[in-house]
């Protein structure tokens, strides 16, 4: 019995020793794990401390880029409000349109027959030759022999008949005669009915050209108005006055041309 008791105590002691040793080993392993984790945490903190300046640099760079972009946008938006001097372009365009209207009037007046010979009075007669329709001034040279006589000299003698036919068919009432390789056209005196009719045509041409000039003026004023705040008010008023002066100048030029043509017709 005593021997059984001894064996039981010895087994219990052994088991206690093993249990304590395993607990010591586990506690040591746990301690090692804690130390390793602490060292890793310390390393990561030191690593993050090294990275933070770089991250700060990137943040500052991004902020600087955003500020720079904003400043560029601000400068771009400011440039839209910069005043632009549209004066020269508006004046040049209006002047060109008005001048074109006066030139067209000059061509129309040249077509009107008067009691006096004019070298340009036949320029717009269309001659049909060789299957083509060509203005007379491209086929012949017209010269004034005296105040009542025209000479038509064709560049190609073969077109003489075609030139004669075209002149006879024109509304000028001319009947040119052959004189060798040229044509001679006598200008007949105008009747009172013809004079009155021509004066009406001139008056209508004068009104038409004035309307064209006024349309050019209105177009210029509309351009100034559309400029709005981009064009200073004092500059806009000065430009409007210059456009008005330009309009008066071309209107007077057109009126003078029509008066001269009427005088030429009525006085023969």
Q: How confident is the model at residue 248 (pLDDT cuts 50, 70, 90)?
A: very high
CATH number of 242's domain: 1.10.132.20
Q: What are residue 152's DSSP bridge partners?
A: 142, 183
220 occurs within a structural domain: yes
129 DSSP β-pair partners: 132
Indicate yes or no: pTM above 0.95.
no
Tens digit of pLDDT for each residue in 176-228? 999 999 999 998 888 888 888 888 889 999 999 999 999 999 999 999 888 87
**pLDDT reading at 61 higher than 70:** no
90: pLDDT strictly greater than 80:
yes
DSSP 8-state secondary structure symbol assigned to residue 119: T
Chain-centroid distance of CA 258 in Å reads 35
Residues 143 and 182 in one domain: yes
Same domain for 258 and 146? no
pLDDT at 84: 64
Q: What pLDDT score was predicted for residue 268? A: 62
Q: Is the pLDDT of residue 26 over 70?
A: no
pLDDT at 156 over 70: yes
Last residue of a domain, one of 171, 186, 201: 186
Residue 82 has a pLDDT of: 54
Within 8 A by CB and 6+ apart from 105, the residues are 205, 206, 208, 209, 254, 257, 258
* Domain range for 217: 87-113+191-267
Total structural domains within the chain = 2
- Look at residue 1 in the predicted model and tell me its pLDDT: 45
Which of residues 186, 203, 224 is at a domain's end? Answer: 186
- In degrees rounded to 5, what are phi and psi of residue 148? -125, 5
Per-residue confidence (pLDDT) for residue 5, from 0 to 100: 44
**Does 131 or 171 have the greater pLDDT score?**
131
Q: H or E stretch including 99?
A: helix 87-110
pLDDT-derived band at 30, boundaries 50, 70, 90: very low
**Segment 231-241 mean pLDDT:** 88
State whether 223 and 102 are in the same domain.
Answer: yes
């Amino acid at each position: 019995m005593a021997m059984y008791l001894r064996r039981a105590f010895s087994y219990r002691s052994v088991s206690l020793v093993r249990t304590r040793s395993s607990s010591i080993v586990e506690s040591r392993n746990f301690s090692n794990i804690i130390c390793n984790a602490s060292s890793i945490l310390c390393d990561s903190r030191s690593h993050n401390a090294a990275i933070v300046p770089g991250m700060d640099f990137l943040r500052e760079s991004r902020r600087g880029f955003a500020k720079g972009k904003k400043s560029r946008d601000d400068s771009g938006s400011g440039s839209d409000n910069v005043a632009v001097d549209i004066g020269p372009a508006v004046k040049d365009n209006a002047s060109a349109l008005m001048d074109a209207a006066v030139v067209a009037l000059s061509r129309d007046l040249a077509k009107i027959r008067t009691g006096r010979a004019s070298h340009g009075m036949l320029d717009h007669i269309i001659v049909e030759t060789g299957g083509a329709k060509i203005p007379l001034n491209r086929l012949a040279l017209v010269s004034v022999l005296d105040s009542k006589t025209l000479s038509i000299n064709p560049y190609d003698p073969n077109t003489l008949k075609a030139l004669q036919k075209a002149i006879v068919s024109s509304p000028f009432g001319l009947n040119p005669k052959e004189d060798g390789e040229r044509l001679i056209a006598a200008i007949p005196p105008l009747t009172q009915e013809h004079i009155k009719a021509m004066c009406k045509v001139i008056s209508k041409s004068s009104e038409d050209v004035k309307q064209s000039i006024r349309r050019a003026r209105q177009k210029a004023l509309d351009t100034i108005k559309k400029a709005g705040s981009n064009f200073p008010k004092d500059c806009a008023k000065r430009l409007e006055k210059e456009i008005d002066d330009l309009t008066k100048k071309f209107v007077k030029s057109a009126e003078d041309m029509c008066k001269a043509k009427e005088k030429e017709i009525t006085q023969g």
